[in-house]
Amino acid sequence: MDKMKKWKNLCKAKDIVEVLNKKHFKASYVETLEEARDKLLEMIEEGASVAIGGSTTLSEMGLVDILRNGKYKFFDRYQDLPFDPDIVEIHRKSLTADFLVTGTNAITKNGELVNTDCTGNRVAPMIFGPKNVIIVTGVNKIVGSLEDAFKRIREIAPMNAKRIKHETPCVETGTCVDCDCKKRICNFTTIIHNGIKFEGRIKIIIIADEIGY
């Protein structure tokens, strides 16, 4: 990475960590995806139950294989099983996990976490259920406002739909058309304004790099 760009990303990471900690999250930053992976695994004790939300960032760090082969109770939503009822049941059990590990669609400069989901299995446990939530995200997810967050989500929706092979209009056009189809991935949108209700429950690792969508 260009030295000046790396420096700028570090500045962004430090700034948002300060904001997030003031909003009662437990935030920290690292410089690389590899450092994020190591820090994440340090947080999860052996034998803990772990669920994950769909995330390109987590895929890039190989987290699924790590959890499958590690000493954890992994709620594996990526098994080759029928979605309903088997995968849906895994989603339900994930609400009782010791740890949810996930990414986020956007973080505002005011420290709000904004996410849109297809099934709700990611946004629901971010809000309540698992004892701990660990969010791993790059600085490219930082936006100016809630309006910017919603705009960002609409812009990345076609890529996410294509990534998970959903047959939606945006996969054909590359643009969100606010569709009304069964495979729509934008069904549930949440805003987490702060972490004050269960202070320290939501832990956020900011990577000073552009990772994921």
pLDDT digits (tens, 9 = 90+) for 128-137: 999 999 999 9
At residue 1, the pLDDT reads 65
Task: State the Cα angle at 172 between 167 and 176, rounded to 5°.
Answer: 85
Q: Which tens digits make up the pLDDT trace of 148-192?
A: 999 999 999 989 889 888 889 999 999 999 999 989 999 999 999
Q: Where are the domains of the chain?
A: 3-207
HSE-up of 110 (CA within 13 Å, CB side)? Answer: 12
At residue 70, the pLDDT reads 85
At residue 164, the pLDDT reads 85
Nearest to 75 by CA among 87, 90, 89, 65: 90
- Per CATH, the homologous superfamily of domain 3-207 is NagB/RpiA/CoA transferase-like (3.40.50.10420)
How large a percentage of the chain has pLDDT more than 90? 90
